[in-house]
């Protein structure tokens, strides 16, 4: 086993960076996502290093497509105990006019949030590393949230779109 890979496994989960292969794959997935022409105003990320690295890669592609840099906000709401309602309330407080938000985190938290927003049970959606879920979000006056899933693209599909 190469020394770099051995050292990577010695790190805690929170400190483990993306692998070279993971970086390469996400660059291709981000290229594919941009072909779908998403409108993204803000990127929220888990504080774990892999999520932050993923957010930085995504920001590069969105900046090139939209012509302006985005802010990446690091949020503790992505770590256990993960709190979807607190994250969504925070997003509405700081950016109420956002048309599109990218949330970059970890499994099983993200697929659980997709299921929760769309009224499904946990385990209803499979989200591989680099998958994208598009959700039309609804919030009522009491800040009760629900959503409608309009897209779930696995990273393999996004990478195919990049071709």
- Compute the mean pLDDT over every residue in the chain, rounded to the nearest whole number: 89
- Residue 3 confidence class, pLDDT cut points 50, 70, 90: very low
Joined together, the tokens standing for residue 51 give 């999520």
Question: Could you report the per-residue pLDDT of 110-161, keeping only the tens digit for each?
Answer: 999 999 999 887 778 989 999 999 999 998 888 889 999 999 999 999 999 9
Joined together, the tokens standing for residue 5 give 């890979």
Question: Could you report the per-residue pLDDT of 62-111, keeping only the tens digit for each?
Answer: 999 999 989 999 999 998 889 999 999 999 898 888 889 999 999 999 99
Rounded to 10 degrees, the C-alpha dihedral 151/98/29/129 comes to: -70
What does the alpha-carbon distance between residue 129 and residue 106 come to, in Å, rounded to a whole number? 8
Give me the domains of the chain, ranges plus CATH numbers. 22-161 (3.40.50.1240)
Q: What pLDDT sits at residue 14?
A: 78
């Amino acid at each position: 086993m190469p020394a770099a890979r051995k050292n990577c496994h010695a790190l805690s989960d929170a400190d483990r960076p993306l692998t070279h292969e993971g970086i390469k794959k996400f660059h291709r997935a981000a290229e594919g996502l941009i072909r779908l022409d998403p409108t993204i105003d803000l990127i929220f990320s888990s504080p774990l290093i892999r999520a932050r690295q993923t957010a930085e890669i995504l920001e590069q592609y969105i900046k090139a497509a939209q012509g302006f840099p985005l802010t990446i906000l690091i949020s503790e709401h992505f770590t256990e105990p993960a709190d979807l309602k607190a994250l969504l309330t925070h997003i509405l407080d700081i950016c109420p006019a956002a048309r599109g938000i990218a949330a970059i985190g970890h499994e099983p938290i993200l697929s659980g949030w997709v299921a929760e927003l769309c009224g499904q049970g946990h385990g209803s959606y499979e989200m591989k590393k680099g998958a994208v879920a598009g959700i039309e979000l609804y919030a009522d006056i009491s800040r009760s949230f629900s959503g409608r899933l309009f897209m779930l693209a696995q990273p393999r599909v996004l990478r195919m779109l990049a071709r």
